[in-house]
Amino acid sequence: MHQHTQYRKNPEAVSRLNPEQYRVTQQDGTERPFANAYWDNHEPGIYVDVVSGEPLFASVDKYDSNSGWPSFTKPIARTNVVEREDSSHGMIRTEARSLNGNSHLGHVFNDGPPEKGGLRYCINSASLRFIHLDDLANAGYGEYRTLFTSDTNTSTMTGKETM
């Protein structure tokens, strides 16, 4: 999808984060399972980085992983989610971070639905802002409405497609 906005880490947005959002996004924290805003959200819409506003995940790719965190099979644009090795807590995992906001989002695991590629993007609600499908245009994300039509929500955007 063609992006009309330059997304970046916004110091003003960082200053407005609540303590949990700051701990998760800026200090690589993890929120409690089943006690966060979006783990059981079933509304249509997209999830954007709470710091930069960059589009990250769509509800059409969200599923219940029984983990207590929002889980997605893929990002809206693979280029907006950076994966890197995380060896904290005595284990090796794949961390997911937003490209432009550099926010810690969560982790990527290989135990997702096999028919959807096998990945599980296990994401902290505190790193996200949800924009309902009905509000996409007013919030400046109108181009992402196409993700919710049956002929376009079957493939991940690479970040290079144009409308």
Angle at 128 between CA 28 and CA 26, to 5 degrees: 25
Domains and CATH numbers, the chain: 11-148 (2.170.150.20)
Tokens matching residue 108: 């990527």
> CB–CB of 143/1 below 8 Å?
yes
Residue with structure tokens 């999808």?
Answer: 1
| pLDDT for residue 50 | 96
Q: Among the options 13, 56, 108, 122, which is catalytic?
A: 122
pLDDT tier for residue 151 given thresholds of 50, 70 and 90: low
> CB–CB of 122/111 below 8 Å?
no
The answer, yes or no, to whether residue 150 has pLDDT greater than 90, is: no
Give the Cα separation of 117 and 107 in Å (integer).
16
Tokens matching residue 136: 């996409």
pLDDT digits 0-9 by tens, 60-111: 999 999 999 999 999 999 999 999 998 887 888 999 999 999 999 999 999 9
| pLDDT for residue 4 | 52
pLDDT tier for residue 162 given thresholds of 50, 70 and 90: very low
User: In terms of Cα–Cα distance, which of 103, 77, 76, 141 is closest to 13?
Assistant: 103
Give the Cα separation of 111 and 56 in Å (integer).
20
Is pLDDT larger for residue 3 or for residue 47? 47
pLDDT tier for residue 51 given thresholds of 50, 70 and 90: very high
SS3 25: helix
The answer, yes or no, to whether residue 158 has pLDDT greater than 50, is: no
The answer, yes or no, to whether residue 153 has pLDDT greater than 60, is: no
Tokens matching residue 12: 């003003």
Tokens matching residue 25: 């996004």
Is 155 assigned a catalytic role?
A: no
The answer, yes or no, to whether residue 16 has pLDDT greater than 50, is: yes
pLDDT tier for residue 163 given thresholds of 50, 70 and 90: very low
